[in-house]
Amino acid sequence: MPRKLAAGNWKMNGLAAALAELDTIAAGSGAEDGPEVAICPPFTLVAAAAQRAKGGLLVGGQDCHAERAGAHTGDVSAAMLADAGARLVILGHSERRQDHGETDADVAAKTRAAWDAGLRVILCVGETLADREAGRALEVVRAQLAGSVLDGASDETLVVAYEPVWAIGTGRVAEPPQIAEMHDALRAALVDRFGKATAGAIPLLYGGSVKAANAAEIFGIENVDGALVGGASLSAGDFLPIVEALGAA
């Protein structure tokens, strides 16, 4: 059974003052028998967040470069994130795939760099609305998983987040049967590739307009081991009830 994880992705939000929210999130989470809790702030806040994170709160990055170092203006390496205190990194988010043209091969290369730096990867997969309406959702997500996950993955190195693109930041949540079908398919694909024991321990998160009001229903779905939360992770008042719902599920 995977350990549960509630991860907050602050995206391009948060100035130094936002660290007060992180302090409150740290204070309200981290029970030894509770879910793991992570916050992935923008790069500018990773070091400060890691220094302030208490009570087991994990800090992560939102992306990293595939190379260890070099002439890549504006980019950040996995080693830099780890050096700043990050333990995790989100890779393959649909906003990176859309805004920066990232491919599955790019995500796989970044995964290698993240693992080399000792970071656990939260790998995002998810179909667009056009994919879903064309009946291609399962095929697209399976292909993303196959193309971006490297051999040797385990629960210590990999978390998979299913985020239907049409549910991100839209207030539109996937229906429970849609989430169940996709998470079952993801688990099955991981079992095929890594065997039951390894695949059964890799956490599968749902992401897309998760809020306190819908968290309990989502966490009641089989093979949903947590959430990757965007907007609702910016405020401790919105995020902690989601953590609590996960702990109770």
Ligand X SMILES: O=C[C@H](O)COP(=O)(O)O
The residue among 59, 60, 58, 122 whose CA lies nearest residue 91 is 122
Phi/psi at 211 (nearest 5 deg)? -135, 170
Question: Does 195 participate in binding ligand X (rule CB under 6 A)?
Answer: no
By C-beta, is 53 or 174 nearer to ligand X? Answer: 174
Question: Does 14 participate in binding ligand X (rule CB under 6 A)?
Answer: no
Using CB under 6 A, which of 14, 28, 203, 208 touches ligand X?
Answer: 208
169's CB contacts (< 8 A; 6+ apart) are: 209, 230, 231
Is 57:38 a contact under the CB 8 Å cutoff? yes
Question: Does 228 participate in binding ligand X (rule CB under 6 A)?
Answer: yes
Give residues 35-64 in contact with ligand X (rule: CB under 6 A).
none
Residues tagged active-site: 93, 163
| Residues binding ligand X: number (CB under 6 A) | 14
By C-beta, is 176 or 200 nearer to ligand X? Answer: 176
Is 91:111 a contact under the CB 8 Å cutoff? yes
CB of 41 to ligand X, least distance (A): 12
Give residues 85-144 in contact with ligand X (rule: CB under 6 A).
93
Phi/psi at 173 (nearest 5 deg)? -95, 145
To the question of whether residue 101 is assigned a binding role by annotation, the answer is no
Q: Map residues 145-184 to x or -, x wherever contact with ligand X holds by CB under 6 A.
A: ------------------x----xx---------------
Q: How many residues does the chain have?
A: 249
The residue among 12, 236, 212, 235 whose CA lies nearest residue 227 is 212
How many whole angstroms separate alpha carbon 206 and alpha carbon 190?
16
Question: Does 229 participate in binding ligand X (rule CB under 6 A)?
Answer: yes
Per CB under 6 A, the segment of 12-20, 75-83, 129-137, 203-211 that binds ligand X is: 203-211
Counting DSSP H helices and E strands in the chain, the numbers are: 11, 8
**Which residue numbers belong to the known binding site for substrate?**
9-11, 169, 209, 230-231
Task: Give the residues lining the site for ligand X (CB under 6 A).
Answer: 9, 93, 163, 168-169, 207-210, 228-232
